[in-house]
A and B are shown apart, each in its own frame.
Chain A
Amino acid sequence: MNLLPVKSSFLASCAAIALMVTVSACGTPSKTGTTAGAETGAAPSGQPGGEGAMSQEAMAREKLEAPSMEVADLQDVNFDFDKSDIRSDARDILGKNADWITAHPEYSVQIEGHCDERGTAEYNLALGERRANSVKNYLAQMGVDSNRLVTISYGEELPLDPGHDDAAWAKNRRAHFLVVKTPR
């Protein structure tokens, strides 16, 4: 079962947008994006969240809905089964990612949390959220402005490798990075 089309099919309708963004971004990102641009239909407005949190919430939402793209310099980090701790092999990668993010203030960063297919979809959605936040907190500790970081969990829905073995699962337990042009 090929699961990549979920992403690449988004691409089909959004490639043009992604390309334009790349061009307007002075060529900094080295690779054009793969995931969704914003839906063309306007999202219905949300109901109020907690008091005072609304503007921050709206800003985060804006960062999520903006056309996003991949950057080769921002590498994935992997996790152990049912864990969200930052592994020692991930620290190096996150250090480099933090440097890139700090050097490119014109971008905000979406951190996607992903799980392997084992376990229930319900729990894995929460686990992916925990992984993405674990990365966000780590980057913030390294001095990255956390207001530039937004998280989203895809749970087990978007495996990188469609296989059903240890090697595929190890790849699929990951945090992935996308960037969006920071709204002015």
Chain B
Amino acid sequence: MSRKIKCIAVALLAPLVMCGGMAGAQPAVYMGTQRVESRMIEVAVPEFLVSGEDPEGWGAQSARIINFDLGVSGYFKVMENYDFLRQATQRDMASGQIMFEEWRTLASNFLVKGVITREAQGRLTLEARVYDLQTKKLFFAKRYTGPSPLFRRIAHQFSDDFLNRFTGEQGMARTRIAFVSRVEGRKELFISDYDGADARQVTQDRSIVLFPHINPKNPGLLLFTTFRYRNPDLYALRLSDNTRYPLSRRVGSNAVGEWSPDGTKVAFSLSREGDSDIYTVNADGTEPKRLTFERSIETSPAWSPDGQSIAFTSDRSGSPQVYTMRADGSETKRLSFKGSWNDGSSWSPKGNQIAFTSLLGAVFDIAVVNPADPSSLRNLTNSVGSNEYPSWSPEGRHIAFASTRAGGVKQLFIIRADGGGEARKVTNLAGGADHPSWGPSPE
């Protein structure tokens, strides 16, 4: 654990050095922002070559990391028969050239080749080249160097760069997800890469920790609720030194906090005499403001990306339903009219969708609705297992959620927000994973 922290510190002091693209005067964006729905771009990413010894298995891992990133993005169809990919690589090596026609039997659009070199002082260089299998030309190439322990991050960075070069969109390969998981019967706060790798336990409260939320402007700062001090209190925690400060620890439930998009405020639910309402405080816990005044339960606030509105849950109609209001508490509107239980809103970064946990049938599903059109409500998941607690990816094209769909305890999955593709399981922890909060890249 101490080694990991040291590595992160090193990363902060010496960010990855990137040498410029070698592809020269290619157009900045290959396909524009149009989503290719009818035809996925096919890409082959064989295992990277590693010069010298490869005790960490970088060669195999790099291909798997990049294939996951590209496949989950929704833009690419990846080729994951590593036997075929290995055979094609061997044919290239035997012939001393890239056998484009052979590769095109595996993927029709792109081939990614990479070489990883171990450098002095615990560093590595990763050089990746992307070939267009149609034109048989180099499409994009980039070289990265960084500390060896950041190997996964370097591979993810290539995925983001390739995706950005191809689509013009921001990638999500270096984002992270905070969540809670059981440890010895208690619940603790964890954080991992968005693909579930490098999960580490953040709190040692030996109590119940719930509802983490990553600050969107400062992803090293997390909100959460802890019962450590014998009351559900709202705290903020700095990952860099694992120090925390209280945001609200009034007697009653201080819970389900969410940072405002500019990171300067926190909306949360606070109960007084059994009556839960939405409040905001500044990021240092000062200036508490009450936004709702009904006698019903109001909880689960979610900021709109412009910070002007807040979605929340209220049972004023008799069952928990999703509402929106202005961030000053005015202009309340009901948004969900289907289902007996709707809660846990997360507002998309583009502003045009709100995702929440919805009970239409026998189990919970993730639903989305356009806040301007309540009739647009639709399910994203299809009642396989219980699906709860959606959180949007920072780039706004994906949603993380907790589900029992794989059997056993809840684990985290990510799904495309447009409903396309399959849900991908990203955690596989003995203590399960719940309450995801998807935050931006820490650099």
Contact = CB atoms under 8 A, between A and B. Distances in A.
B315 interface: yes
Interface stretch (B2-10, B134-142, B267-275): B267-275
B185 A3 contact: yes
Given A9-B186, A46-B249, A122-B256, A133 B230 contact: no
B388 to A, nearest CB: 6
Contacts of B329: none
A176 B50 CA distance: 61
Contact of A129 (B211, B253, B300): B253
Nearest to B358: A120
B255 A125 contact: yes
B271 to A, nearest CB: 4
B241 interface: no
A126 B252 CA distance: 9
Contacts of A82: 319
Given A6-B185, A151-B274, A130 B297 contact: yes
Given A9-B206, A129-B253, A129-B276, A64 B297 contact: no
A170 to B, nearest CB: 19
Given A9-B186, A44-B246, A153-B232, A126 B286 contact: no
A153 B271 contact: yes
B344 A120 contact: yes
Contacts of A39: 228-230
B210 A126 contact: no
Given A47-B286, A120-B343, A153-B271, A125 B253 contact: yes
A5 interface: yes
Contact of A38 (B230, B253, B275): B230
A5 B251 contact: no
B210, B211, B246, B320: which has the most chain A beta carbons within 10 Å?
Answer: B320
B230 A36 contact: yes
Interface of A: 1-6, 9-10, 36, 38-39, 43-44, 46-47, 49, 57, 60-61, 64-65, 82, 84, 119-123, 125-127, 129-134, 136-137, 150-154, 157-158
Q: Which 3 A-B pairs have the closest CB atoms?
A: A133-B274, A5-B185, A126-B276
